[in-house]
Chain A
Amino acid sequence: MGTYGREAVVTALLKNHLSQADTIVGSAGSALLKKGFQLGWARVGHGSISASIDTNFIEINMEDIKSEVDKWISQFDDLKENEQRIYDALTEPTPEQFMRLSRILSDASSIQQAYFQIKAELDEVEKEFENTVRVYRSPMRQALTAATLMYNSLNNIKGDFSDFENVSVYVHGIESDGEDFQDDVEEVADTGDVVVRKIRDEEAEYYIIQEVDGKRQMKAYDSLEELKESKYYNSEGRLHIVYDTEHQNEHRQETSDDLSELLTDMGLLNETTKIDMFGHSYGGRRSFQFAMDYPDHVRSITTIGTPYETNTLGSGANKYPFIAGHIPFVDFHPKEYSGYLDPNPENYRTDDGIDHSNVYTDMASESMGDDINHLKAANPEAYEKLEEMDITATAGSSGTISTYNYFDRKTEKVYLGDHIVSVNSQLAKELGDLIDDHEIYSIKMPIAHLKEIRNEEFIDLVKEVNKKEKE
């Protein structure tokens, strides 16, 4: 829009707004914000944003900035109303006066449109900020955990459970929570063990496994205080943490960051406590991620039904979220947001302008093999610690088929997957020697993946691992 014929009252107001815009951009110190303002202001046709960006930090309150632009829009409303009132008060307006009013009304409306455009640009800047911040969120959180651990160590701050030396953490898979693992724990835990159930969006629940007159009971306690006051409470046993992720479909990195925060609060990331991880389905990837991030604290990993390789279900749901979210009788949430964005440019999706990563983007784009190889190159010490861990990858299998091998001239038995994840993927074949033990369990159910967590042989394995690792 040109400025030819622009009335002085409009120019005066614009001058004022331009000055305020310069102040906002200058004090925010963000080139991204400056660019957004410049793009929007170009439509105004009055000068340009010239503030320099020379501060060392960025400080933006987008809500305040938007409300400032709203104020400008409102001031042009006032101007239009005022000029209309002046014109209406004239007894015999001249054609020049009519033309003047028309110019002001039209010019003000155009400027207001430009201001709305600035707000739209600000929305884009905000999303870009959020997307950028998400990439750095995880390293920041890990640094914060490290700083907290150091602070706690220097100041001798201990968490409520720091006396436990043997801890098991159970992590569920996609679209789920820890209730099935809770049933497993009720069977595998020893008398005297403590169970903490971290429930999504709720307070934690506390239990002690007690044997009374020969009958095993999982006794509930209503609070941490009640638990610790119990005469049955004994930190020489094992602590079992049945963990619900904050978002059911969150990316494994988000789980690892949340879990480290929880375990730090509980006083369990210390030199003596050893953690044994158990994961079902994608919970195996989550467990592995935690072990990769905190290898000094993890002693073993045991998984079942875990898609270590990229997975068809994940790819399909990620690629066709609308279909996945609307398949009759199936309740998938491939768009679920969990606040994390992976640095891998393929491991993300964009919903409503927000870039984010979740279980579906992860299973579609990354195999754990690739991640482990990256770790091996980037952090060989951490990889060596993974090698020292006892890692068991087990597979649920819906059955076997016989195939004839023409080369060897013999019939071979081939295990089928659990209807969702292939046996090879569950057994983490691509991780090679890093996996110490493999087991395959036969599960005769319409969808084996759903039942493998409650499989008796797997429950026996969990019990055995808990016992062996404690010894």
Chain B
Amino acid sequence: MVSRFLKISILLILPIFLFGCGADKLTYQKGFPKTKTRALIEFIGQQASQQMHFLYKEDNQCIYAKIPTKNDREVPYYRYEDAQLNDYVGKYLQTKLTPKTFKALRVDMKENLFQGISNKAIYNLPQISMENDNVLHVKTKTNERDFDLVDVLKEYKVKKTDKIIYEVTALTDEAFQLYVKDMDLSKTSKTDMTLFIKQDLSDIVVTQLYPGKLDKALDKNNLILYKSLLTKLDADRYLVKSASGYRILDYKSQQLKSVDDNDYLSLDGKYVYINGNKKDLQEGEQRIQTIENYLKGNDKYEREFNLSFKKIAKKLKLDTSGVSSASINYFNKDFVVIRLNFSGVVVGKAGATNVIIDLQDKKNPTAYIVDLGLE
């Protein structure tokens, strides 16, 4: 009798071990996170730097290059200190956040957190301006030179009357990356170019970072001087920063890759949210891999968790027939922000919200339900 009872118990308990131990269960709670954490600080920092490219962090200072506007004569650079950002995060925690107050804080941060950098040499930042006839004037700590883009980019048929947009997208002590877009090139051709330039201006590599067959200019030997701008993933693969996120330089397949269209690459290029970029993010089991495991195609997942739209609707007391759209607004290590739009039961809309999924506490991952107006 005891033995039979034991067998039945094992049969009942077994499924819990088989199916219940994989994905983490999220705790759902309304409101914004209440404590400062690394991931939250990163997220808030990113909010203020929307028209900028992050270049590097050193001595508790973050350095950014702003995307030049029509009023900027040259590429503007900005910095802030960790402590200053930390103070701003405190403001977010003290404020009752709504789409309006969240935006107001973001705008305030943009205006007051960032300090312009006038002495560029101290931070190893190239001084870059566009002169007449699309001649790029570059001055670094060690050299000064003009690059006639009509000549440098002759392969791409750039003309001296063309309207050119340029942005500094990556930088190290040895080299920097310049994104150049010709607004007058035909829409049917590829209008975006990337220039790898040595800080001493002794070398320049011109290429394009569109996904597809690897450009000859991206050959390993050509990029040997620009290794500091690449992140090595394994013997054949490197991460390279483009103006729209990271790409994968795959020398084995001779391809410049993006992650699959359905997947979502983290802001730092190190993690992949599987199916995070699908037209409509689905509820249920969610999986995150490191970029290395993703490229290997294995089943090792960094994080797995269950996402329930029904529980979120219940927390918000919404009468809804389901989610009409769901998408990721922000994704970096252990931190995801999504947007959910709930349909009404028969017509119209029941409501919308952002959900901050904080995976930092491995034992108690939490979904914070708060509408920040991020769409």
Contacts and interface: CB of A to CB of B under 8 A. Distances in A.
Interface of A: 173-177, 179-180, 182-183, 191, 197, 199, 202-203, 205, 211-215, 217, 219-223, 226, 229-234, 248, 281, 313, 329-331, 419-420, 446-447, 449-451, 454
B165 A213 contact: no
B250 interface: no
A338 to B, nearest CB: 15
Given A222-B106, A451-B324, A329 B319 contact: yes
Interface string B58-85: 0000000001111100000000000000
15 contacts: A176-B347, A179-B349, A212-B243, A213-B179, A213-B194, A213-B247, A214-B244, A221-B51, A222-B103, A222-B107, A229-B71, A231-B165, A231-B183, A331-B319, A454-B324
B107 A223 contact: yes
User: What DSSP secondary structure best describes chain B's contact surface?
Assistant: loop
Contacts of B107: 222-223
B375 A231 contact: no
B222 interface: no
Interface in B339-360: 341, 343-350, 352
9 closest A-B pairs by beta carbon, nearest first, are A175-B348, A176-B348, A212-B244, A229-B69, A214-B210, A215-B244, A213-B242, A329-B319, A176-B349
User: What DSSP secondary structure best describes chain A's contact surface?
Assistant: loop
Interface in B151-168: 163, 165
A231 B69 contact: yes
Given A179-B349, A229-B70, 4 more contacts: A175-B349, A230-B67, A248-B348, A446-B321
Nearest to A449: B347
Given A213-B210, A229-B70, A281 B324 contact: no
B344 A183 contact: no
A222 B181 CA distance: 23
Interface of B: 50-51, 67-71, 99-100, 103, 106-107, 110, 163, 165, 179, 181, 183, 187, 190-192, 194, 208-211, 242-245, 247, 258, 319, 321, 324-325, 341, 343-350, 352, 373, 375
A330 B344 contact: yes
Contacts of A197: 375
B178 to A, nearest CB: 13
A205 B373 CA distance: 10
B348 A173 contact: yes
B316 to A, nearest CB: 12
Contact of B352 (A173, A179, A330, A447): A179
A131 B341 CA distance: 37
Contacts of B244: 212-215, 217
A189 B110 CA distance: 28
A407 B244 CA distance: 63
Contacts of A449: 346-347
Contacts of A451: 324, 343
B243 A174 contact: no
A191 B183 CA distance: 11
